[in-house]
Structure 1
Amino acid sequence: MFVETYKTELVQSIILFAILYIIRFIAALAIKKIGRKSGINDARIHLIIRYASVTLVLIGLLVVAVIFGTEMKDLTLVFSSVFAVIGIALFAIWSILSNITSGIIMFFSFPYKVGDKVQIHDKDFPVEAIIEDIRAFQLHLRLDNGDLVTYPNNLILQKPVTLIEKDAIDDGHDAI
């Protein structure tokens, strides 16, 4: 019954999701290529691919709602209500969102990589360390004394940073 009634809408939805899957595939390839060309580790590449996939699924759900005849005024009411609730909730966790957004920005334009020794010019907490890992929320920095410091992504984009030594991690291989 349902399939017969909504045959056209179901076919359009299947075509839409096929197109979105192809777009996701192409986007994933592009993100991997950019990430590998920039020397970014695989964990960060997969995180950005996951963000892109979730965005495409949300867009797909919105378009499917339109395909099945949902009126724009109804969608506007639902989205304004949802965004009001989300906005209030997110205001409480804005720093987390700021760090995630900074992590995405750093994926595409951060000039320093894992293994680089950097100096962060923070007047309250100056840091000179090796970047051990770049995560969604923070950088893991290894100090000369062996201590691990986690530094929020949003702060690293706000502070001046100096590259002291490129790829300072000693991997045990001697250069010839």
Structure 2
Amino acid sequence: MKAYLLQPEVIATLIILIVAFSIHRSIIWSAGKLSKKVERSKLRKQYLNRYVGYVIWTMAMISIILVWGLKRDGFWVALGSTFAVVGVALFANWSILSNVTASFILYFTFPYKIGDRVRIHDKDLPVTAVIEDIKGFYTILRTAEGELITYPNNLLLQKGVSILYNREESIFDIDKHEETDPTAR
């Protein structure tokens, strides 16, 4: 039994698991500290933990498979085929990947958070609403009329967004009304 536990594969597997666990825990701890500092919700922290966990543990499992010496040629062919299929799927629907990436960017950098009243400056469909939740792919907004809107995260990065605080309209909207209203002069 002891001889089996001292095999290089068993030792390498244990090291990979300990390193993956340590990295995952340190990211969770860092995200927790950052969440408190920038006032992010616990739910958003859970999304981050889940997505990062998927990546770390997938890499750990691939490393363990390589350590145990499954035929490398067959493994690389299977892995390459899988990535080719996933790559084609992501290329065909690039918005999935861009929305997940945008979710991480929104988590770490953007000044608005759940509960903020925002104005999205979209030429075709301007939106004024309160942010109810920011999920992995989209943000849930509620208008003053009670309408629920799911807005893709990648569009929040591409469009101008104003935090309205206590104002009824954005300063950009007020300027437009003054220019188009001849009685305003």
Query: Identity of counterpart residues, as a percentage?
Result: 38
* RMSD (Å), alpha carbons: 2.4
Displacement after TM superposition at 1:88 (Å): 1.9
Deviation per residue, 1:62-116 (Å, 9 max, x gap) = 2223322357655543332111111122233322222122111111112101111
Provide the C-alpha distance between the structure 2 equivalents of 1:134 and 1:5, rounded to a whole number of angstroms: 46
What amino acid is the match of 1:165? Y
1:29-48 alignment, distance < 5 Å: 29-48=29-48
Structure 1 residue 9: deviation in Å? 0.4
Alignment-mate amino acid for residue 31 of structure 2: I
Counterpart CA distance in 1 for 2:33 and 2:43 is: 14
Q: How does 1:90-109 map to 2 (within 5 A)?
A: 90-109=90-109
Task: Confirm or deny: 8 A CA contact 2:47 2:135 kept in the other structure.
Answer: no
Q: Provide TM-score, normalisation by structure 2.
A: 0.79
Aligned ranges 1:153-172 → 2 under 5 Å: 153-165=153-165
Count of aligned residue pairs for this structure pair: 166
Give the secondary structure class of the aligned counterpart of 1:123.
coil
Bigger relative contact order (CA 8 A; separation at least 6) = 1
| Whole-angstrom distance in 2 between the partners of 1:133 and 1:98 | 18
Unaligned ranges ≥5, structure 1: 167-176
Tell me the TM-score normalised to structure 1 length.
Answer: 0.83
- Larger fraction in helix: 2
Q: 1:62: which partner in 2? A: 62
Letter in structure 2 aligned against 1:116: D
Shift of 1:119: 0.9
